[in-house]
Amino acid sequence: GAVVSQHPSWVICKSGTSVKIECRSLDFQATTMFWYRQFPKQSLMLMATSNEGSKATYEQGVEKDKFLINHASLTLSTLTVTSAHPEDSSFYICSASRTSTGELFFGEGSRLTVL
């Protein structure tokens, strides 16, 4: 199956700083990537749809200025949590879609802890 890699897998930062999380599709081109947030023992909440070469589409209630998404190439999307606060602490997961099948391939997730 296809491989999606996220980096870093774990990051701790101070309140007020910005953190960038990378999502790469290693063996296929992904015109569309998705960013999810998962709270402990809860489901995945779709944050935004990242489209290569265009602006991301954010879900209702997700601050686009807070969570900056860039999808500059067919294999890389980045999520930047700007001016992070403790309530932004969460598990962030990316996925890439193979448009021919609709199947999603998931990254291993990135755990963000904001002190």
Partner 1 sequence: AQRVTQPEKLLSVFKGAPVELKCNYSYSGSPELFWYVQYSRQRLQLLLRHISRESIKGFTADLNKGETSFHLKKPFAQEEDSAMYYCALSGGGGFKTIFGAGTRLFVKA
Q: Determine if 43 is a binding residue for partner 1 (CB under 8 A).
A: yes
Eight-class DSSP state of 30: -
Q: Strand 10-13 vs strand 110-114: parallel, antiparallel, or unpaired?
A: parallel
Q: Determine if 93 is a binding residue for partner 1 (CB under 8 A).
A: yes
H-helix or E-strand spanning residue 92: strand 90-97
Q: Which stretch binds partner 1 (CB under 8 A): 14-22, 71-79, 82-90, 102-110?
A: 102-110
**Residue with smaller CB distance to partner 1, 75 or 95:** 95
Q: Determine if 32 is a binding residue for partner 1 (CB under 8 A).
A: yes
- From 77, 97, 110, 114, residue interacting with partner 1 (rule: CB under 8 A): 97
- From 31, 70, 89, 113, residue interacting with partner 1 (rule: CB under 8 A): 31
The one-letter code for the residue type at 84 is A
Query: Cβ neighbours of residue 26 under 8 Å, at least 6 residues apart?
Result: 2, 3, 4, 5, 75
